[in-house]
Structure 1
Amino acid sequence: MLADSLKKTIRTIHTNIAAKLPDYHSRPSQNYLVAEIAKTLAGNYHRTERIAVIEAGTGTGKSLAYCLAAIPYAKQHKKSLIISTATVALQEQLINKELPFFAKHAGIDISYELAKGRQRYVCAERLYNALLDDPSQLNFLATTDAPLSEKEQDLIKQLQAAYKKGTWQGDRDTWPSVISDNVWRLIQSDKHSCQRQLASHAHCPFHSARDRLAKADVIIVNHSLLLADLELGGGVILPEPADSIYVIDEAHHLPQVARDFSSASSTLVATLEWLEKLAKFNQKMANTISSTRATGLNFKLADAINDSAKDLKNVKTFFADNYFVFNEDNVHRFEQGQLPKGITHWVKDLKQSSANMLKFLTKMHDALTLDLSDGDVSKKVAEPILAESGLYLTRLDSFAKLWGNLSIEQSNPPHARWLKQLEYKNHVDYLLADCPIQVGYYLHDKLWQECAGAVLCSATLSALGSFDHFAFEAGLKPIEGVKYIKAQSPFDYKDKAVLTIPNISKEPNHKEFSDELVKVLPNYIKKDEANLVLFASYWQMNQVAEGLRKKGFSLLLQGEASRDALLTLHRDKVKNGKGSILFGTQSFSEGLDLPGDLLTNLIITKIPFAVPTSPIEQAQSEYIETKGGNPFLSITVPEAAKKLVQSCGRLLRKESDSGEITILDRRLVTKRYGKAMLDSLPPFKRKIEY
């Protein structure tokens, strides 16, 4: 139960923060969230299952709410607070603005750090060795990279100098200019070669960053890094789940990130090529390791390489010799996730041989690491070999994961599996891929059942008035103790915005809908104001833009310049009183912040239904149909409803904002699902034309 002492602490911190926030006024919905989060984490609703799912409308102040409730609770119970986000923008807002303000004025001592993946950091030793004259130091690059240009060599010299002086801490994101991938691959930290136990790597930026994480009260991560830690068993990159409270902000992205993380793929011909190089490297590595530490390992690795190459050639020949129907994207999806029976025995063998390759190369790598640590092999000889070995181990991780996944014969639901034909000038290659279509079980087992508590929040977690769809996707459905909360936005939607659905003659499924948009949009665009027009596809956006430009409209079009450049032009035009018309697709419907006069007229051309074109989406639909369900109503409509809410959320960003929303899709009125979609939107004043 929530202790009186903690209640008092939270109230005191809230008072301290409120006194320092400019233009602060009490928000009932925010106060409600603070109380509900604190009670959930304290076990008021369930003794062991302490999870809250919160949908908080725009302007609720959810980030301050979870900080006010979760930070004091975590401090009092000696837990780490891990805040995970989906976007860099929110990470930067938390680490550069909100947490520094909180730490300064809360009246309690808190420390916070931003956690990044290992590959965002430079390896000091690799940076030092990057431009050595001895080519043997860099010979492994022939397997991956083009030679460095003179400009790239100059950049490395600048990086070396800045790191040595201490003006750069070795974080890729803090270097003022772009570091090309060709350069960064050469100098980035690698888990296989940049190891703390090696004296030359003990103080590399990545290890220093991890030392700071171990002392931090609050850790900011992205969803991918959170999943990476869970994949390793939890408590490897981040603190142990059992010792952590998780705040999952922008939580509607979590299932998709988990799905991406669980997928695996590999090309066949390209893999055969690097396996051939690995076979040669194997002998070179064996010659370097002390004989007593790696006796026979190179022979075992050679056998595993030969076994994998032989079976992989057979799989490649099978796909080349048999007829498969490929779609316009050169993709063939295996129905029900069933691979051809002709390759199943090779799949099982490849599962074993790929696991063996990974195991034996790892042992050889560890043996050489020990040799280097003990001084039996010089750093000059060992470092480049460990770097090359690390590259192969990374590839083998992915290779073994694919064949391990593909060897799962029956699963419910099945995995999505597909073959993509890759055509080059000289040859044809095949990409073989596997992805689970549901990952709720993974999040349930790895995160929700292990953590000390969790708060999941977003402006769009419910769909059509229910949390059921998200709960199922995120693995929360079986957990009876989950507290589901809806916090209303403090905005007065009826006075601030009007939602209009015009009576236009054609619906989006009509072949002449684009022409209809060209005809009617001039009636709803306000040339002297800030307009945002959202489309469901690039194709339709470009077609309509061409038609309107012929009519003399000046447009800012997504894709014709970078996002930042377009928004800068948009802001400049509005501030100079010229008005602006910004055209964008679905990616502009989320995370786009144009407050006040920067957006007063929002036009949505059609309901953002996703067309199931990817193998994963098709497999999901197929599975639902086999169970007697309707994939359109089960997946497509709920997802579109959430996206429509996100789109409408672009208009009102602050309580003082106002404007108009026009949706040019009559299906909101003519279809049965339309009413449920309309009811899921904020309570704008409605104007439906008949």
Structure 2
Amino acid sequence: MDTRYIDADYLSHFLKTGGSLDSQFDYFEQRDSQIALLEKVTSAFNNKQVAVLEAGTGVGKSFAYLLPALAWVKKNDERVVISTGTINLQQQLFEKDIPQAQKLMGLSVKALLLKGRQNYLCKRRLHDLLQEKDLFSEEIEEIDVLVDWANETKTGDKSHIPFMLREGLWQRVQSESDACLGIKCPFYESCFVMKLRKEANESQILVVNHHLLFADIETRLNGLPFDENGVLPAYTSLIFDEAHGIEDAATSFFSSSLNRFTVLKQLSLLARSRKNAHTGLLFSLDVLSNSPEYLQECLVKMQDIKTALTHFETEALELMEKDYAFRFTAGTAFRLRSFLEAVANLHRAFHSFFTSFRALIQGIDEEDKSLPAVWEGKQIYKRLEYIAEVCESFLDWDQQEDYVFWMEKRRLSFAQNKNELFSKEDGQSYPIIHKTPLSIAKTMNTGVFSQFETVICTSATLQTSSGFSFWLQRNGGQYLSKERLICAAFPSNFNYRENAVLAIPTDMPLPDSPLFQASVEKNVLKLLQASEGRALVLFTSFESLRSTASYLRDNSHLLTYPLLVQGEADRFNLLKQFKEKKDSILLATTSFWEGVDVPGDSLSHVIIVKLPFAVPNEPVFAARSEAIEKQGRSSFAELSLPGAIIAFRQGFGRLMRRNTDRGIITVLDRRLLAKSYGRLFLTSLPETRQLFCPMEDLVFEIKSFLK
């Protein structure tokens, strides 16, 4: 079918004075930058281009890409996928922006929100749990309530559960590709995930997150044609919102990891004991098999895997000693012998088990091999085989230059933050080994830019002092021809000059000073008093955050505002409390530098403790830095500095969320003024009032401005 072009003039009319958006509001102000952005998106659809478009906060980028996307799918009977970095934005697009855009245009296009499958109930896993309900006596009441909900829900979506459910229970009933029997499942016809996939086939706009998108792209890179249905139905165009996070999302998705829980989860599906009862798939297979002697052999060899796993963990923790992480390099290779022997031992234990497990299954009559239990057994076998392959890849790590091999320690408890790293002394550590791609640029080119007709990448923070070159280099844009690529920036329409102040105290010690942390604690207290709470304090390390939180609590008689600390509640509840308690203070680190949307008086002061440079010895960052240095280039200029500028701009962007917002951004890191690169951070920001003076004067000015 010939391409039917969409008209930018026609589409922009909806967003102009006198258009249908104007008619919906008593007070409407046309946003020229929004219209210019819409025109670029329209051009990218018509010319089948890759568009990298930075749109400042307040531009209204959602409508600027939704109107062309809706017009395109309607005219050309195609499908567009919109991928975001957060569930919050997914829900806003699906529940608010897309319906409103359709109403503006007078169009009806079927749209669907798709989350990762772990957000949906698996009916078979719930059924299996009910068979063992007596083993979970302390949870019987909660299980019964969950069953009642499962019988009523139309979607199976966890976010629709109207009561608090403990995470451990949900994990036992959530849908997982690891546990899916597909067409062999007795609940296949009523499966929530399968219903969604059917609905997705009938939808022209799909709203997904980056992780789900990359799951689909992986199946296509592994051989599934791009014009066939994979994890998602086939699509021709793709919009990345929150595109500043693509590299991290792709790096995470295309990494392989292994820890004890990955292994034990699969083994527990095969055999587990609780209250002297033995259950699991092996016992079902044993009943079917004509070779029952292999059951005991499997159980013994599963124990061998667990023993090898314990040895593997001991050696991994020994390698890391007091560090939180360890990277495999030519310089550390001499220390790896004992660990690699433990990995080889674990690999052998897996393959010894596979021999017995295959024999048990081969003893099942042909007519019984189509039974769900056998199918599930084969699925578990495949997953354990993949885990064994991850083990094997570590044995020749030095032959794989495109990957970073490393390990880290994590907390065993959920008491702090589930992703918090820590030292061995806790006695609660467990290791995770990782194989991470050194770069995702080629994957983005072969899996995204070369395959889809139109790709739109947009965010409020894509540029650094060198324009878009950093983002393009990291995400595969260097492979695109000049004709195929559009890059453009559309400034925010917010009045930062009148409503925002950038404050830097000139008498702070530099961050490398031993006096810095004590000065942070003392001055954060003064700054919070000046703004009467209403503040988000952004740290770059948990250690600094915890020390500051402790200091503020020790001086609670001087600071009476509610104090919320990351790690003491989950992200959702922290943000909920922060919005509801108008004078509250939120202390947070990395994940809160972006995606926090708190308009109004609840957030009038953002305090940035240190410039968000990546930790130099973080394994993946260190490996990427070395790769740049080996080519005779500067990793500071090409990786560290631009990455910090993007993150800094994200942190700065937490303050102004609506055009009526006003407040202060205080940066306690004097490198902005003392180092030559500081001006690159400053010039990356919108034009604001600037206040560079000693702390006492700054506190006085903050009080005056906020009053």
Q: Which residue of 2 aligns with 1:39?
A: 43
Q: Which residue of 2 aligns with 1:603?
A: 607
Q: Which residue of 1 aligns with 2:69?
A: 70
In the alignment, is residue 437 of structure 1 matched against residue 429 of structure 2?
no
- 2:540 maps to a residue whose letter is A
For the structure 1 residues 623 and 22, does the alpha-carbon distance in structure 2 shift closer, same or farther, using more than 3 Å as the test?
Answer: farther
Deviations 1:311-361 (A, max 9, x none): 998998799789964242464321159865799899899989979999998
Moved more, 316-325 or 222-231: 316-325
Q: Which residue of 2 aligns with 1:142?
A: none
Q: Which residue of 1 aligns with 2:160?
A: 174
Q: Which one of 498, 512, 515 corresponds to residue 515 of structure 2?
A: 512
- 2:437 maps to a residue whose letter is P
Moved more, 279-288 or 95-104: 279-288
Deviations 1:620-648 (A, max 9, x none): 33333433444333322212211211121
For the structure 1 residues 5 and 504, does the alpha-carbon distance in structure 2 shift closer, same or farther, using more than 3 Å as the test?
Answer: closer
In the alignment, is residue 410 of structure 1 matched against residue 399 of structure 2?
yes
Where does 1:517-532 land on structure 2 (aligned, <5 Å)?
517-521=520-524, 524-525=527-528, 526-528=530-532, 530-532=534-536
Q: Which residue of 1 aligns with 2:558?
A: 552
CA–CA distance in structure 1, aligned partners of residues 199 and 81 of structure 2: 14
CA–CA distance in structure 1, aligned partners of residues 312 and 123 of structure 2: 46
In the alignment, is residue 460 of structure 1 matched against residue 461 of structure 2?
yes
- 1:266 maps to a residue whose letter is L
* Unmatched tracts of structure 2, length 5 or more: 221-225, 273-279, 413-423, 695-707
CA–CA distance in structure 2, aligned partners of residues 458 and 38 of structure 1: 17
Q: Which secondary structure does the structure 1 equivalent of 2:458 belong to?
A: strand
Deviations 1:658-680 (A, max 9, x none): 22322222211111111111111
Aligned identity (percent) is 27
CA–CA distance in structure 2, aligned partners of residues 426 and 689 of structure 1: 46
Q: Which residue of 1 aligns with 2:651?
A: 647
Q: Which residue of 2 aligns with 1:143?
A: none
Deviations 1:376-407 (A, max 9, x none): 87xxxx44565565445434334434534764
In the alignment, is residue 158 of structure 1 matched against residue 165 of structure 2?
no
For the structure 1 residues 244 and 19, does the alpha-carbon distance in structure 2 shift closer, same or farther, using more than 3 Å as the test?
Answer: farther
Q: Which residue of 2 aligns with 1:495?
A: 498
Q: Which one of 673, 678, 683 corresponds to residue 674 of structure 1?
A: 678
Q: Which secondary structure does the structure 1 equivalent of 2:23 belong to?
A: helix
* Native 8 Å contact 1:30 1:62 kept in 2: yes
* Native 8 Å contact 2:312 2:343 kept in 1: no
CA–CA distance in structure 2, aligned partners of residues 686 and 417 of structure 1: 43
Q: Which one of 248, 251, 261 corresponds to residue 259 of structure 1?
A: 251
CA–CA distance in structure 1, aligned partners of residues 67 and 78 of structure 2: 15
Q: Which secondary structure does the structure 2 equivalent of 1:41 belong to?
A: helix
Q: Which residue of 2 aligns with 1:478?
A: 479
Q: Which secondary structure does the structure 2 equivalent of 1:644 belong to?
A: helix
Q: Which secondary structure does the structure 2 equivalent of 1:597 belong to?
A: coil
For the structure 1 residues 118 and 167, does the alpha-carbon distance in structure 2 shift closer, same or farther, using more than 3 Å as the test?
Answer: closer
Q: Which residue of 1 aligns with 2:201?
A: 214
CA–CA distance in structure 2, aligned partners of residues 371 and 153 of structure 1: 37
Q: Which residue of 1 aligns with 2:216?
A: 229
For the structure 1 residues 391 and 426, does the alpha-carbon distance in structure 2 shift closer, same or farther, using more than 3 Å as the test?
Answer: farther
* Native 8 Å contact 2:564 2:584 kept in 1: no
For the structure 1 residues 342 and 186, does the alpha-carbon distance in structure 2 shift closer, same or farther, using more than 3 Å as the test?
Answer: closer
Q: Which residue of 1 aligns with 2:130?
A: 131
For the structure 1 residues 522 and 343, does the alpha-carbon distance in structure 2 shift closer, same or farther, using more than 3 Å as the test?
Answer: closer
* Native 8 Å contact 1:119 1:189 kept in 2: yes
* Native 8 Å contact 1:172 1:179 kept in 2: no
Q: Which residue of 1 aligns with 2:320?
A: 326
For the structure 1 residues 358 and 321, does the alpha-carbon distance in structure 2 shift closer, same or farther, using more than 3 Å as the test?
Answer: closer
CA–CA distance in structure 2, aligned partners of residues 79 and 180 of structure 1: 41
* Native 8 Å contact 2:289 2:360 kept in 1: no
Shift of 1:231: 1.8
The number of residue pairs the alignment matches comes to: 653
CA–CA distance in structure 2, aligned partners of residues 532 and 425 of structure 1: 29
CA–CA distance in structure 2, aligned partners of residues 124 and 110 of structure 1: 30
Q: Which one of 514, 535, 538 corresponds to residue 534 of structure 1?
A: 538
Q: Which one of 233, 238, 246 corresponds to residue 232 of structure 2?
A: 238
- 2:463 maps to a residue whose letter is S
Q: What is the CA RMSD across the aligned residues, in angstroms?
A: 4.5
For the structure 1 residues 390 and 148, does the alpha-carbon distance in structure 2 shift closer, same or farther, using more than 3 Å as the test?
Answer: farther
Shift of 1:52: 0.8
Q: Which residue of 1 aligns with 2:24?
A: 20
